[in-house]
């Protein structure tokens, strides 16, 4: 995000609403996009709700790994429900306005839930690290109390910073344009509308991106380096295959989520464009939530067995 100071020619306007431009540049595809995103939303809700339910009702899945997975699926449901329903309403009604309060609330929820996802993925990596690298200590380290504390910390740790960042952004004066060239209220497109000095906001944006995106990703990367090193030392090929199979689903979700997030927020300013940002945002707000239950159900024997058991009943 290139630092610049925009000075309007006239008086600053305190806008009470914005316009989410979304996909207005393809008016002939509005109903097609509405149908496609509606189906995607239903699949996301159904898939993640299924993961959430089976990790609750099946006693065999009452382990730390599936406890974290159930919470991650719940975060995915909340995360996608903050953005997709508004986008569907805009596509159906063609009324793209969003009030200042709604835009502020949406941005804050997206940031808080995004931080919770990042930290939960890091917690899940730590769980796999302890299980594989210190198996004898696993029952003592990953107690139910510790698991609950890790989940609560993942949920609330981003709240103070992200709420403060959101309030700071919306305390800025805005220039004549009120059109947000995006399908939800995200920081970069909203900051583009701000007048005056935005350097502090841009600096805070990159610092929080480093803290809540890059830092958890590096933690996960280091954890998996140690996990792979430990697995390769196992004497049995069967043991190595079993160890890798317990991590492959999580690692796939990590690469999907963090890959698109890092490219979106931390790539060079010269490569930024509104259309590219929208496509990348769709990737981490929709693709990861829709593939999360598929990845875990197709690659996890315990979940497949539980699904067959429940469907059989």
pLDDT at 45 over 70: yes
pLDDT computed for residue 269 by the predictor: 64
Model pLDDT for residues 210-246, shown as the tens digit of each residue: 899 999 999 999 999 999 998 888 888 777 787 777 7
Question: Up-side HSE of residue 227: CA atoms within 13 Å toward CB?
Answer: 25
Residues 286-306, mean pLDDT to the nearest whole number: 78
pLDDT computed for residue 13 by the predictor: 44
Q: Would the pTM count as exceeding 0.95? A: no
Q: What is the 3-state secondary structure (H, E, C) of the chain?
A: CCCCCECCCCCCECCCEEEECCCCCCHHHHHHHHHHHHHHHHHHHHHHHHHHHHHHHCHHHCCHHHHHHHHHHHHHHHHHHHHHHHHHHHHHHCCCEEEHHHHHHHHHHHHHHHHHHHHHHHHHHHHHHHHHHCCCCHHHHCCHHHHHHHHHHHHHCCHHHHHHHHHHHHCCCECCCCEECCCCCCHHHHHCCECECCHHHHHHHHHHHHHHHHHHHHHHHHHHHHHHHHHHCCCCHHHHHHHHHHHHHHHHHHHHHHHHHHHHHHCCHHHCCHHHHHHHHHHHHHHHHHHHHHHHHHHCHHHHHHHHHHHHC
Residues 189-212, mean pLDDT to the nearest whole number: 88
pLDDT computed for residue 156 by the predictor: 95
pLDDT at 272 over 70: no
pLDDT computed for residue 12 by the predictor: 42
**How does the average pLDDT of the chain come out, rounded?**
86
* Confidence category of residue 176, pLDDT binned at 50, 70, 90: low
């Amino acid at each position: 995000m290139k630092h610049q100071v925009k000075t309007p020619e006239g008086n600053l306007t305190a806008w009470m609403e914005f316009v989410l431009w979304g996909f207005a540049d393809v008016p002939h595809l509005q109903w097609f996009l509405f149908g496609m995103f509606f189906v995607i939303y239903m699949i996301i809700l159904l898939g993640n709700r299924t993961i959430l339910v089976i990790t609750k009702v099946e006693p065999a899945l009452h382990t730390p790994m599936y406890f974290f997975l159930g919470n991650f699926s719940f975060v995915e449901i909340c995360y996608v429900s903050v953005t997709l329903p508004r986008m569907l309403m805009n596509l159906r009604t063609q009324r793209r306005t969003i009030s200042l309060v709604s835009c502020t609330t949406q941005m804050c929820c997206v940031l808080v839930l995004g931080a919770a996802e990042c930290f939960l993925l890091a917690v899940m990596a730590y769980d796999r690290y302890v299980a594989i690298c210190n198996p004898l200590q696993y029952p003592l380290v990953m107690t139910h109390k510790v698991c609950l504390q890790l989940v609560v910390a993942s949920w609330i740790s981003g709240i103070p910073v992200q709420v403060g960042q959101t309030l700071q952004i919306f305390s800025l004066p805005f220039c004549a344009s009120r059109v947000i060239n995006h399908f939800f209220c995200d920081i970069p497109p909203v900051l583009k509308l701000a007048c005056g000095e935005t350097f502090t906001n841009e600096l805070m944006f990159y610092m929080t991106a480093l803290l809540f995106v890059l830092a958890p990703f590096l933690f996960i990367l280091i954890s998996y380096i140690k996990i792979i090193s430990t697995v390769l030392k196992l004497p049995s090929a069967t043991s190595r295959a079993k160890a890798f199979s317990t991590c492959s689903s999580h690692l796939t979700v990590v690469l999907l989520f963090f890959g698109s997030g890092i490219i979106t927020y931390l790539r060079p300013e010269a490569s930024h464009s509104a259309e590219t940002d929208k496509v990348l945002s769709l990737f981490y707000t929709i693709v990861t939530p829709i593939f999360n239950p598929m990845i875990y159900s197709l690659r996890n024997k315990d979940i497949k067995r539980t699904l067959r058991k429940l469907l059989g009943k």
